[in-house]
């Protein structure tokens, strides 16, 4: 692994002027708001969408799955684009794609068109997230963790408040307006213009890859991720047994193809030197399991509150607001504890917090336990996002950081798709508390990884 590849000098900030992590974090945090709202808001609109488009409710689950899937897949692609483009350029492309796809989803006359729009919008969201984190992780030292803490708080607050916003918008403006919410990222992009110089840096070539996209590697990874999400949701959407077997076979072949591609093409879409770096896969898996716990609870919490109170989606969203606010506390706490604990120690604590939160929601009836459990998973999600995104670049060589960031975010975002898919798939087979208890096994695995895999980061 080479640490001496010649790079062009960075153009992060003017000479003699230190970057302001708080200001840049606020700018980038605003940009992620519409994207994370788009994760939770549509869930409360699904019944209305099913009625309006005359499709079974189970079929509307693809509206959520499509977004998570292409968002995850776009992240490694965006990481490769950063070999030639600055974070600001990727940000503009991502926001434009996000807005175009969301506009299509909000105006689609059929479910198929709506899903295509969500696929496009999710891809834009994934690219935008990578650009945001690339800009934040380019900051030095404490400015980096400060910016990441603000971004994590913004994303967790937005996703937690998504149910409230989704319920209100559905009631007042209709379900199409809910799907079009991410279009608001376009005017928010204007707020990033004053910081354009700070978000523009030269990343140079990465270990001779020249940023070329490995189409075969990207294809097998896409099929593998898509098969996994589809299989988890097979029961909830009524997928025929024959189709389920075909999807399973495609996933198995994709897994074998990915293994072969990584071994035969070391500089491909999934570079062998990156995933072989000590601790990198562990960090990605920890993030994925924590995100799975959080999004699995977020998917189920509104309906559990509605069942307990007899209210509607708007009332459930209001009750979940205190849980969303906890993300701000988590972001500040992470910043305060950075000097006292290692990233691995903090990730262990945050994974444990997520396990407890999931089990509280699973074990206790009533709206208060649901809100408390959701709040704990919100803290785990927001904290883990800041800690692990800050840690991941130090686990690989400097030249590989953008590629590694894309792959790392792919693993965490895929976890965010797996959580709701697993809960939805299990809920038709076992009672909801059992489905959530099974979900808790994922962040528990992340906790074990945090405690057993603690290599020293590359400095």
For the CA atoms of 337, 339, 342, 348, what is the dihedral angle to 10 degrees?
A: 0
Report which DSSP code applies to 91. H
| pLDDT level of residue 456 (50, 70, 90 thresholds) | low
Q: Which domains are seen in the chain, by residue range?
A: 21-189+214-452 (1.20.1250.20)
| pLDDT level of residue 7 (50, 70, 90 thresholds) | very low
Q: Two tokens at 414?
A: 């895929």
Instruction: Evaluate if residue 277 carries a pLDDT over 50.
Output: yes
Phi/psi zone of residue 195: left (φ > 0), alpha (ψ -120 to 50 degrees), beta? alpha
Q: pLDDT by residue (tens digit) across 38-75?
A: 877 887 787 788 889 988 766 777 787 788 788 888 88
Residues 173-177 have a mean pLDDT of 92
* pLDDT number for residue 394: 79
| pLDDT level of residue 309 (50, 70, 90 thresholds) | confident
* pLDDT number for residue 115: 92
| pLDDT level of residue 312 (50, 70, 90 thresholds) | confident
Q: pLDDT by residue (tens digit) across 353-395?
A: 999 999 999 999 889 999 999 999 988 988 888 788 777 777 8
Instruction: Evaluate if residue 88 carries a pLDDT over 60.
Output: yes
| pLDDT level of residue 3 (50, 70, 90 thresholds) | very low
* pLDDT number for residue 441: 96
**Most confident of the ranges 5-14, 53-62, 178-187:** 178-187
Q: Considering the chain, what percentage of its residues have pLDDT values greater than 90?
A: 25
Residues 270-298 have a mean pLDDT of 89
* pLDDT number for residue 200: 63
* pLDDT number for residue 57: 67
Residues 157-183 have a mean pLDDT of 85
Q: How many Å apart are CA 66 and CA 183, to the nearest integer?
A: 17
CB 229 within 8 A of CB 270: no
Question: Helix 141-160 to helix 280-309 angle, to the nearest 10 degrees?
Answer: 30
Instruction: Report the mean per-residue pLDDT for the chain.
Output: 82
| pLDDT level of residue 15 (50, 70, 90 thresholds) | very low
| pLDDT level of residue 6 (50, 70, 90 thresholds) | very low
* pLDDT number for residue 58: 63
Q: How many Å apart are CA 397 and CA 387, to the nearest integer?
A: 19
Q: pLDDT by residue (tens digit) across 389-415?
A: 777 777 888 778 878 888 888 898 888
Report which DSSP code applies to 400. G
């Amino acid at each position: 692994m080479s640490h001496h590849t010649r790079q062009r000098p960075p153009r992060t900030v003017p000479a003699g002027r230190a970057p302001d992590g708080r200001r840049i974090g606020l700018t980038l945090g605003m940009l992620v708001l519409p994207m994370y709202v788009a994760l939770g808001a549509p869930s409360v609109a699904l019944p209305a969408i099913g009625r309006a488009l005359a499709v079974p409710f189970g079929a509307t689950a693809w509206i959520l799955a499509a977004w998570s899937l292409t968002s995850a897949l776009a992240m490694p692609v965006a990481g490769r684009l950063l070999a030639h483009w600055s974070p600001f350029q990727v940000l503009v492309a991502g926001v434009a794609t996000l807005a175009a796809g969301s506009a299509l989803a909000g105006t689609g006359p059929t479910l198929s068109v709506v899903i295509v729009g969500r696929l496009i919008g999710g891809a834009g969201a994934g690219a935008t997230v990578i650009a945001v984190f690339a800009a934040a992780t380019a900051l030095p030292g404490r400015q980096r963790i400060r910016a990441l803490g603000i971004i994590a708080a913004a994303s967790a607050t937005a996703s937690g408040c998504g149910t409230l916003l989704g319920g209100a918008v559905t009631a007042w403006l209709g379900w199409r307006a809910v799907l079009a919410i991410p279009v608001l990222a376009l005017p928010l992009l204007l707020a990033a213009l004053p910081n354009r110089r700070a978000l523009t840096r030269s990343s140079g070539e990465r270990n001779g890859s020249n940023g070329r996209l490995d189409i075969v590697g990207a294809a097998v990874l896409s099929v593998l991720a898509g098969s996994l999400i589809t299989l988890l949701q097979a029961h909830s959407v009524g997928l025929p047994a024959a189709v389920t077997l075909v999807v399973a076979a495609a996933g198995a072949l994709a897994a074998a193809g990915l293994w072969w591609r990584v071994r035969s093409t070391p500089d491909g879409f999934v570079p062998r030197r990156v995933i072989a770096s000590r601790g990198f896969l562990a960090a990605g898996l920890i993030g994925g399991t924590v995100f799975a716990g959080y999004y699995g609870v977020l998917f189920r919490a509104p309906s559990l509150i509605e069942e307990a109170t007899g209210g509607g989606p708007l009332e459930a969203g209001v009750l979940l607001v205190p849980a969303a606010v906890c993300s701000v506390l988590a972001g500040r706490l992470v910043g305060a504890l950075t000097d006292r604990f290692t990233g691995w120690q903090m990730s262990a604590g945050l994974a444990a917090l997520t396990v407890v939160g999931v089990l509280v929601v699973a074990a206790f009836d009533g709206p208060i336990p649901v809100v408390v459990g959701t709040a704990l998973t919100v803290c785990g999600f927001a904290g883990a996002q800041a800690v692990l995104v800050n840690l991941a670049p130090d686990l690989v060589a400097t030249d590989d950081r953008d590629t590694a960031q894309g792959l790392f975010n792919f693993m965490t975002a895929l976890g965010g798709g797996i959580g709701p898919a697993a809960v939805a798939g299990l809920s038709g087979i076992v009672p909801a508390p059992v489905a959530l208890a099974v979900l808790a096994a994922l962040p528990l695995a992340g906790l074990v990884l945090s405690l057993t895999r603690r290599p020293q980061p590359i400095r």
